[in-house]
Chains A and B, each alone.
Chain A
Amino acid sequence: MTTFLGIPSVGAPVRSSPGVGHLQGSESFPTAARRALGDSQLRSNIGRATTTIRGKRARVVGEVPDWEELREAGRTLKASTMARLPELLGQLEEQVTAAGGTVHWARDAAEANAIVTRLVQATGADEVVKVKSMATQEIGLNEALEAAGISAWETDLAELIVQLGHDLPSHILVPAIHRNRSEIREIFRREMPGLGTELPPDLTDEPRELAMTARRHLRRTFLRAQVAISGANFAVAETGTLSVVESEGNGRMCLTLPRTLITVMGIEKVVPTWQDLEVFLQLLPRSSTGERMNPYTSMWTGVTPGDGPQEVHLVLLDNGRTAVLADEVGREALHCIRCSACLNVCPVYERTGGHAYGSVYPGPIGAVLSPQLTGMTGDAVNDSLPYASSLCGACYDVCPVKIDIPSILVELRAQHVEAAAASGRLPTPEAALMKAAAVSMTSPFRWRLAQRASRLGRLLARGRDGQRRIRSLPPPLSGWTGTRDLPEPPAETFRESWAREGRS
């Protein structure tokens, strides 16, 4: 919600533009997950891919003797940056401007889309080439450009696969991770000829052959494009230097060949000094693709006469980030450097894939970032995301900047319950049960009564002596007994037997 009141808003945190961009799906996580779990091809594609990349990451992280020190530096750098954000953004703006760039500010997705559209229109171009960027996916920039009659060509291979497949990204790093090679070949065969790229009739599904097909398909586009749009992995306040970390060279093509370059970046991506890149350039590639260093990293500072784009813009995006910053626990989610290591180790993501999260930010980091960007109302779709985790903690262990995702998940669950209460949606049966449990748990007497009541479960147990099990319970406990037995409650609790023996 944008405020147009004539005075700067200092009241309630302002969330992302509702209905613009891709931060919230149309169904709750459990519902979307159920469908994904039924897709065995999807599960096998994602299971294989995440297993591979987990192994690669572990190998290259294992060879760094000071990995923990780098993580701690990354964590403190990010925390310090957030605390100094106004000063650092001001410095960044100053430095970019001094180097010949133009800085724009966008309160939300709609405003960022309008700025970029206007900038493209000013060049007279009717197409742009794009470097993979989470921020522009988040704000739905491609749709906005489309509506203005501007074609936006995704040039990262995975983004190309998603775009040609009229699909949605399902992973931060590898957006087409849910597609296997034969599905990709089919998408290429169906879509590329219509865009002017003839394919050999005997095109196989060898990854190398598919990658070469993409090279051929995009080469002409790169050579003619006048405008490129990118995100940024890092922006150095001290020098005004922007950076894009990539693999294929599509980023370099976009950042080098067109005349105009427009970069859209979340305000949290700023880092204080040039030296700080020595930390992040070590943390990111090893956590992300499991490489010692990614094939290409480009860094540019404003305009360099005679080299690269001669018109350079930077759009600084809020779109709910300041609302995240306002939460003392949740603000750590803004430290994310988008490596996706947490997705690759998450047992939930591994089974459901990214689409179930309904946002461009899937997996554990998405489960804490998306609901904070959109806000939780007590019954919004994104209210289900903080519960999409068994709190196993694997994400926290691999995070290169040590974001305590499990603690943020627990905090957001509390905020969800509070939002539900505030909007009059409590008491639900769950809330009533929790209240009753809490009441019994604060008195040993009431607790013994509750334990005795649970012994009624003995009536439901079936089977031979010593093997008796409860095999069926009514909702919501049927969620348990659908696939799992429960033991028969014992005739005596531990405290009863302890008391019977007269022990203390």
Chain B
Amino acid sequence: MRIALFVTCLADTLYPSVARATVTVLERLGHEVVFPPGQTCCGQMHVNTGYQADALPVVRHHVEVFEPYDAVVAPSGSCVGSVRHQHARVARRAGDEALARRAEAGAARTYELSELLVDVLGVEDVGASFPHRVTYHPTCHSLRMLRVDDKPLRLLRNVRGLELVELPSAESCCGFGGTFALKNADTSTAMLADKMRHVVGTGAEICTAGDSSCLMHIGGGLSRLRSGVRTLHLAEILAATDDPGAEVAGQTVPVGVVR
């Protein structure tokens, strides 16, 4: 299958290893991954902060860039959630029904990574190996906007050597929420503190999730606390193998070693 990578602005700029890992997993499964070079951002930050007029051209740009592709994948529940639930609304609010319909058509071809793997490609074992103790945080948008349900867990359970430990109160928001983390920094931090307490309490070495944004938040807090627990995107775990020559979690990271 030919799959277009919607890299997301955050992975492109701050977490290229997550994008790289997404490509690695799909190519290992025999699929062709292309990178539409015109892509920038889905515009979710604008929409969720109230700047819908500014979001409109960003949405139009996204729709146009990905229109030629039959399948689009992003390593983010949140960005796919925005494409699926916000793009057409933004267009309709601006009175652009034609764009809204194009956005809906594009949204129907856009998948979050675990959705693409499990629902579209029918794969639960991606041939990964990752001998570590891992806990999984279901991010709000993958859980409640996309309803990915236990797809990420099914993928993780098939990773060789991985010990999956349950995260208490897993479905509670970590407190990221985009610009919420800045506008309501105190509340966001209070939510983060509880999330970190639960993560640390599992005794896991790694906390994983399907969104780099939430992981940036959780990982940033864990790093500040010097907790010793690291964050890794689901794609990075799924890309890991015990083949010493394979790429894992970005090119700079040796096999089996966690960033």
Contacts and interface: CB of A to CB of B under 8 A. Distances in A.
Determine which residue in B11, B40, B192, B259 has the highest number of CB atoms from chain A within 10 A of its CB, and name it. Answer: B40
B131 interface: no
B52 interface: yes
A348 B188 CA distance: 8
B190 A495 contact: no
A441 B61 contact: yes
Size range of the interface on A?
35 or more
B58 A351 contact: no
Interface in A149-195: none
B162 interface: no
B78 to A, nearest CB: 9
A493 B16 contact: yes
A431 B51 contact: yes
B181 to A, nearest CB: 6
A384 to B, nearest CB: 8
B244 interface: no
Determine which residue in A393, A397, A483, A493 has the highest number of CB atoms from chain B within 10 A of its CB, and name it. Answer: A483
A351 B46 contact: no
B221 A413 contact: no
Interface residues of B, number: 73
A476 B49 CA distance: 15
B200 interface: no
Interface of B: 7, 9, 11-17, 19-20, 34-35, 37-41, 43, 45-55, 57-58, 60-61, 85-86, 89, 93, 140-141, 143-145, 171-173, 175-192, 216-217, 219-221, 223-224, 252, 259
Interface of A: 29-30, 33-34, 37, 43, 347-348, 351-352, 386-394, 396-397, 407, 410-411, 413-418, 430-431, 434-435, 437-438, 440-444, 447, 451, 454, 466, 469, 471, 476-477, 479-480, 482-487, 489-490, 492-495, 497-499, 503-504
Contact of A390 (B38, B45, B86, B176): B176
A305 to B, nearest CB: 53
Contacts of B41: 437, 441, 447
A331 B42 CA distance: 28
Contact of B144 (A393, A441, A443, A498): A393
A480 B14 contact: no
B173 A490 contact: no
A391 B40 contact: no
Given A387-B183, A414-B93, A483 B221 contact: yes
Determine which residue in A34, A393, A431 has the highest number of CB atoms from chain B within 10 A of its CB, and name it. Answer: A393
